Structure 1
């Protein structure tokens, strides 16, 4: 029997779901520039600052919407991007603030995580011909290479002070993971293959580090790239730096390894081997291990659950990883898991009343908000609806622009 991934009817469903998501997020654009944090029903949360990572993600999302031919998407992308060239940009010292409050007072510091999403957004907006995106793309590339990429390490530093004078001693794989996606998207949009080589170097480090820890990825490191396996043991629910192994990142890295392999045009095996090992470890450690369906959020270094809540982005990444691995290998196990996880998402995560996906569930799959309040953005869910319809390379915006969507 043909898998869902091979059926035109399923691809039609994915298209309809992408349209559903884009319709939900239409109130994201702040007329002052940037993107609002969205509540459960898709209305702006006035209590939240304007975050760079959300403005960037929503610029990426609605640039993709414009490339898909959705009326109004380009206007939304233009407005959210205006925050990246305006109030969120540091005109004095360069780069981007993490957020600004209602009076445009910036949060301290500059982070690689935010800058990686600006780079992703700029590459997608440039492919969608959003006015001003080419200049933003040039600026984002320059700042990222000058401030965050470290050529001797083949990795990115994590954060600076506002003036780019003092770099923090913490090093993290979360920012480097999103840098890989942004680098591949930059290579796709610009044709500069040096970005692929940088992404490969990050993946090599991630794969080697994971292999040394039974394919659980250490997330946190000191300035010499020595892993700190106990960081935030007392704060296991930390929003961006949780203790232990993050199950969803194993799945996300698995997908990225396949993207890098396809970008390189190589088949020497190590990237695919790493992808399959990361994927399997995440599934064994994380999927339905505590008496209820769903992926636990984090585990300790022996694979025991630490935070048992279910995050929407983990399932979205599981769907994307299963899709690219099925396309790459033809193994039916990936197609079966892909179908199973969409069934789970539709049952528990997709909000059939208010729209979009619930961002967090507790261990019983009831809605929760201890880590994520509301439905801040559409990035993970929309990509779950698009990745199964696209080749692994070029990346999403360029692939759609070049007519590869099936």
Structure 2
């Protein structure tokens, strides 16, 4: 069992919040498989495509729900999973489409971001013993290693064409970040420690790149892994590839480095912990309340000046989880205090106490916004913020629940 770091009443609140999020997302399964994009009421947006990454995130969440013994979670997860074994999978060329339109037309191209989430979801489904999950996980591993893992670089490539015949020259940190989470998750389910070694390789590059840029991590690179600091300057609020330093990713990487450290033979590794603290401190220093309003800005330039000031729910969720992870690793009470501050902020501004789940985007003065995120498409970040503080740093979420390590 994880050492009890938080008061009993707070632990109960965290579990209840996770249960509330499971209730909110119950309408996520699509009739023909996959997960719907949910609106602010938790209803399926009938006009939106079915996205692979949304499907995988919600499959992961409801597999956790099934492992927690929450009635209804396993059937929801099973219905969502059929999207990955059905229409979201490309039976002709292999791999998974980014999305499928309502009329059945698939999006072009194959993205590492999506395939990293397929790995994560398949590992969670295997842990939850869903029908078809073992085969899905085997297929996901083969596809990822064949097309997205570059052994020579020790990093993941970003995007192929639909046929897997042409790989784009762009390389991205966002996809590699979620690949690290997936790799560590797969290792916990399969026992294959090569996935941990790959994850640590990626972490090593990230630490080096971040350190070279004063712990503001470049997101975009060319095919030789040289940073492209001006990339997407004209698309500063892009959902996945914005210009500049992404504050939330500094926080998310801080947590992932601690997971990677814990996954290695159980011994604490000073360089990963030091880098996690440096990334966290830079992110909160650049991002928290820097424009005179509470909350985290979305992005900054390379001198730490805010660019996109909108507040995103996933950023504060990652701040909560990172502060909890740093507290668990260090026992420094400052991280516990920050953890409480971020939960208070989330409760006041992002948790929707009337309609459920979290508002996904707010303006800098905390009004409703949807320039980047419309509705409440999934519960992945919020759900992990609720359960992360109750779990050890390794194994990852669903395996830790499976092993009975929820504190």
TM-score, with length taken from structure 1: 0.99
Question: What secondary structure sits across from 2:59 in the alignment?
Answer: helix
Secondary structure at 2:107 match in 1: coil
Q: Which residue pairs with 2:14 in the alignment?
A: 14
CA–CA separation in structure 2 for the residues paired with 1:230 and 1:44: 37
1:78 aligned partner: 78
CA–CA separation in structure 1 for the residues paired with 2:382 and 2:115 = 21
> 1:145-164 counterparts in 2 under 5 A?
145-164=145-164
CA contact (8 A) 1:52 1:96 kept: yes
Superposition pairs for residues 19-168 of structure 1, below 5 Å? 19-168=19-168
Q: C-alpha distance in 1, partners of 2:325/2:269?
A: 18
Shift of 1:366: 1.1
Tell me how large the CA RMSD over aligned residues is.
Answer: 1.0
Query: TM-score, normalising length from structure 2?
Result: 0.98
CA contact (8 A) 1:5 1:323 kept: no
Find runs of 4+ consecutive structure 1 residues off by over 3 angstroms: none
Which stretch shows the higher mean deviation, 353-362 or 230-239? 230-239
> What's the counterpart of residue 238 of structure 1?
238
Conserved 8 A contact 1:96-1:110: yes
Q: Which runs of 5+ in 1 are unaligned?
A: none
Q: CA deviation at 1:399?
A: 0.3
Corresponding position of 1:183: 183
Q: Residue 232 of structure 2: SS of its match in structure 1?
A: coil
Q: Provide the rounded CA distance (Å) in 1 between the counterparts of 2:404 and 2:147.
A: 35
1:299 aligns with 2:300: yes
Match of 2:388? 387
1:227 maps to what in 2? 227
Q: Is the 8 A contact 1:5 1:11 kept in 2?
A: no
Residue 334 of structure 1: how far off its partner (Å)? 0.4
Equivalents in 2 of 1:318, 1:170: separation in Å?
28
Tell me the residue number matched to 1:333. Answer: 334
Matches within 5 A, 1:208-223: 208-223=208-223
Q: What aligned pairs does 1:342-353 form with structure 2 within 5 A after superposition?
A: 342-353=343-354
Partner of 1:272: 273
Q: Deviations over 1:45-69 (max 9, x none)?
A: 0111000000111110100000011
The CA distance in 1 between the partners of 2:5 and 2:269, in whole Å, is 26
Cα displacement (A) at 1:400: 0.2
Q: Distance in 1 between matches of 2:73 and 2:395?
A: 22
Query: Is 1:371 the equivalent of 2:372?
Result: yes
Answer whether contact 1:215 1:281 (CA < 8 A) is retained: yes
User: What does 1:298-317 correspond to in 2, within 5 Å?
Assistant: 298-317=299-318
Would you say 1:360 and 2:366 are equivalent positions? Answer: no
| Contact preservation (8 Å) 1:390, 1:396 | yes
Deviations 1:289-345 (A, max 9, x none): 111100000000000000000000000000000001101000011000000000000
TM-superposed CA distance for 1:103, in Å, is 1.6
2:260 pairs with 1:260:
yes
SS in 1 for 2:349: helix
Structure 2: distance between partners of 1:281 and 1:104: 44
Q: Secondary structure at the match of 1:285?
A: helix
- Distance (whole Å) between structure 2 residues aligned to residue 273 and residue 198 of structure 1: 20
Instruction: Check conservation: 1:5, 1:335, Cα contact below 8 A.
Output: no
Q: For 1:6, what is the secondary structure of its paired residue? A: coil
Distance 1:6 1:108 in 2: 46
Measured after TM superposition, the shift of residue 5 of structure 1 is: 4.2
The whole-number CA distance in structure 1 between the counterparts of 2:134 and 2:400 is: 18
